[in-house]
Amino acid sequence: MSTSPATWPNPLLWNNVLYIVSTPIGNLKDITLRALEVLKSVDLIAAEDTRHTGVLCKEYGITARLTSYFDHNESGKARELVNLLKEGRNIALVSDAGTPGINDPGYRLVSLAKAEGVAMAVIPGACAAIAALSLSALPTDRFAFYGFLPVKPGARRKKILQAAEAGGTAIFYESPHRLLKTLKDIAEVMPEQIITVARELTKKFEERLDGPAGTLLDHFTRHKPLGEFVILFHCATAN
C-alpha cells in the first residue's frame, strides 16, 4: 500500500511531503489556489530554473527558498532532496512551465521519493498537451502523448507514422525552429491528414490552426513560426 497524503484531510499541514506542483504555461493567472498555498508554505522549492520560477514567486509574494533541479543535476539532486524530505522538510517540485515530469525534469525525484517511501501530493494544473487537446476539437476518448519528435528526419517520419498507425489522437510538442521541418514530414507521409497546430496557449497570440500539413506549412512559411507549439492529429483507432 502506498502512502499519499492526498487522501488526508489537509495535506498542506503535513511535513516530509514532496508536493508536485503545476505552474502556468504562459498566463501567470493560470495557477491554482492550492499551488499558491503550497508554494508559500514549503521549506524549499526545487525548480528547473530558479530565475524563471523567481518571476512567478515575485508575482505572488512567495518567499520560499529556491534550489535548482534540472536535467544535468537530476540524479545527485534527487538524492539530496529526498534526504531533506526524510529529515522533515516539505519540498515543492516545479518546472519552468506546466506539469513537472511532462517533458520536464521530475521523474527521477518522484521515483526516488516513491522508492524511499516519501509521502507525495500532487497539485495539478496547466499542461500544454492537455490544454491543446481540449482546444483541438479532436476526439478525446483515446489519445497518446509523444513529447518532442526525433531530430533526425528518418526517425521523425517513422515516429509520425507509428503514431498514426496506433490510432486515436496523437499529441506532439514542437519548437518554433523545427515546426516547418515537422510539417513538411507530415505532409509527405500523410498528405490528406488534417492536423491541428496550437500555438502560444494562454498567451496574447494564442491560436489554433487546422488543415492538411501542406496548407499549414504554406501558412508558417509566410508567417514565421514564433512561440510554443503543440501539434495534434487524429487517426481512426486500429483494432
Binding residues for ligand SAM, rule: CB under 6 A, are 25-26, 95, 97-99, 102-104, 127-129, 173-175, 198, 200-203, 228-230
Q: How many residues does the chain have?
A: 239
Cβ-closest position to ligand SAM: 98
Q: What whole-number distance in Å separates Cα of residue 141 and Cα of residue 151?
A: 29
The residue (of 84 and 120) whose beta carbon lies closer to ligand SAM is 120
The residue (of 84 and 93) whose beta carbon lies closer to ligand SAM is 93
The residue (of 112 and 232) whose beta carbon lies closer to ligand SAM is 232
For the chain, the C-alpha Rg in angstroms (whole number) is 20
Q: What whole-number distance in Å separates Cα of residue 68 and Cα of residue 55?
A: 14
In the complex, least distance from residue 26 CB atom to ligand SAM, rounded to whole angstroms: 4
Contact 92, 46 (CB under 8 A): yes
Neighbours of 35 (CB within 10 A): 24
In the complex, least distance from residue 208 CB atom to ligand SAM, rounded to whole angstroms: 10
The residue (of 35 and 201) whose beta carbon lies closer to ligand SAM is 201
In the complex, least distance from residue 174 CB atom to ligand SAM, rounded to whole angstroms: 5
Exposed (0-12), middle (13-18) or buried (19+): which is 43, by Cβ within 10 Å?
middle
Q: What whole-number distance in Å separates Cα of residue 112 and Cα of residue 50?
A: 22
Q: What whole-number distance in Å separates Cα of residue 92 and Cα of residue 20?
A: 6
The residue (of 90 and 95) whose beta carbon lies closer to ligand SAM is 95
In the complex, least distance from residue 189 CB atom to ligand SAM, rounded to whole angstroms: 20
In the complex, least distance from residue 217 CB atom to ligand SAM, rounded to whole angstroms: 18
Q: What whole-number distance in Å separates Cα of residue 132 and Cα of residue 210?
A: 12
